[in-house]
Amino acid sequence: MSLATYHHHGAHILYDRAHLDQPEGPFLPPPGSAWLDPDAWAERGLVVGSAPGRGASQFLAIDGQQWVLRPYRRGGMAARVSQDRYLWLGLERTRAFQEMRLTHHLFEHGLPVPPPVAAIVVHDGPAYRAALITERLMNTEALAERLGTASSELLREVGTTIRRFHDAGLDHVDLNARNLLVSADHKVWLIDFDRCRLRPPGAWRQRNLARLKRSLVRFSPANAESLFTAIVDGYRNVPADHDKV
């Protein structure tokens, strides 16, 4: 997987060549600001669903593939000022380009992340809007939906997976039970790397785990302690070959 860039009239796209550099490529909207417009994708019959939550991610069917288009949206008090505009500090400092490059790095190192497709940034004066496209992880569901039936083996696998990312230096600032996905065969994936970064070992690891525990309390208050204990057991007792694909 190699990355390339496209620039045109304030629109900037950082993309994976394997997905988009094809002689007879998929019928996409014109590269540029249209990529941030769900209607531009829908007009071509490419939208096949959407995900709940802030920003309403769109599920796209592209040339036999399933993609997720996730716009960047503000929450909390900041959304009162602007829901989708961010201060322009340079292209490589945009949230979309940073997340695309980080996801690409993790993917290239064999970690279970959704393959990145493209980051789209539209720059207008002092602000920009952006979105990220990744491959959709089919036949998966959030760990939050599995907590009621999760086996100890699955929970330990969750812990082992988190440890793999930590050993790779990833500080996931929003580690919670909705950003961990589980497939039918109990493979665990981690998603949503907005504002995350690579760091040397430190106290951030415990902060990540504490955040995960708070989400377990939110989604399964009666069983949160036992769920977290099983996850930590997998985190602390990783197999010798846990870093292998």
Q: How far apart are CA 201 and CA 68, in angstroms?
A: 32
Q: How far apart are CA 219 and CA 116, in angstroms?
A: 28
174 is catalytic: yes
Question: What phi and psi values does residue 71 have, to the nearest 5 degrees?
Answer: -75, 150
- Classify residue 228 as exposed, middle or buried by CB count within 10 Å of its CB (0-12, 13-18, 19+): buried
Contact (CB, 8 A) for 150 and 179: no
Q: How far apart are CA 231 and CA 239, in angstroms?
A: 14
Q: How far apart are CA 213 and CA 223, in angstroms?
A: 11
Beta-bridge partner residues of 68: 59, 134
Question: What phi and psi values does residue 134 have, to the nearest 5 degrees?
Answer: -130, 165
Q: How many CB atoms lie within 10 A of CB 143?
A: 26
Q: How many CB atoms lie within 10 A of CB 154?
A: 19
Q: How far apart are CA 22 and CA 16, in angstroms?
A: 11
Question: What phi and psi values does residue 232 have, to the nearest 5 degrees?
Answer: -65, -35
Of 37, 167, 174, 194, the catalytic one is 174
Active site residues: 174
